[in-house]
Amino acid sequence: MSADPYSARVRDLFAAPAHAGDAAGGEAVYVADQDVRLRLTATAADGTIEVLRFRAWGCPHVIAATEAACAALEGRPVTDLENYTAADVMQNLPVPVEKTGRILVIEDAVRSLGQRFRDRT
């Protein structure tokens, strides 16, 4: 029998991604790799991420993991973006081992967004 490949958390995040969309007027990055297309936009004030939004084309784990990343990073210091790792996501979100490469794409996008903020300042 096939095990359910989706945890309850993946199901919840996929069903209602609260951070889907665009942060109007914010910094933006776009990454496409490993069967993933990801756009992140964010606004920040006083070194803190105010709004972080995403648009994603990918499997349910990618969409859920991106939503989880946005939820975790919103309200955090902008400098956290460049230190973000895929392990941070996978700590709380089980991802099949064959999909870990896709989660690294999320890491790349988040770090790239952090770089954008650093370049701006």
Q: Which spans of this chain sit near other proteins (rule: CB under 8 A)? A: 2-3, 5-6, 14, 17, 20, 28-30, 35, 37-39, 41, 55-60, 63, 96, 98-99
Helix residue ranges per DSSP H, 16-99: 60-73, 79-82, 86-92
Smallest distance from other proteins to CB 60, Å: 5
CB-based contact 108:33 (threshold 8 Å): yes
The Cα–Cα gap between 23 and 40 comes to 8
Number of C-beta neighbours around residue 26 at 10 A: 19
Task: Provide the minimum distance between the beta carbon of 17 and other proteins in the complex, in angstroms, as a whole number.
Answer: 7
- The distance of closest approach from Cβ of residue 20 to other proteins in the complex, given in angstroms and rounded to an integer, is 6
User: Which CB atom, from 28 or from 72, has the smaller least distance to other proteins?
Assistant: 28
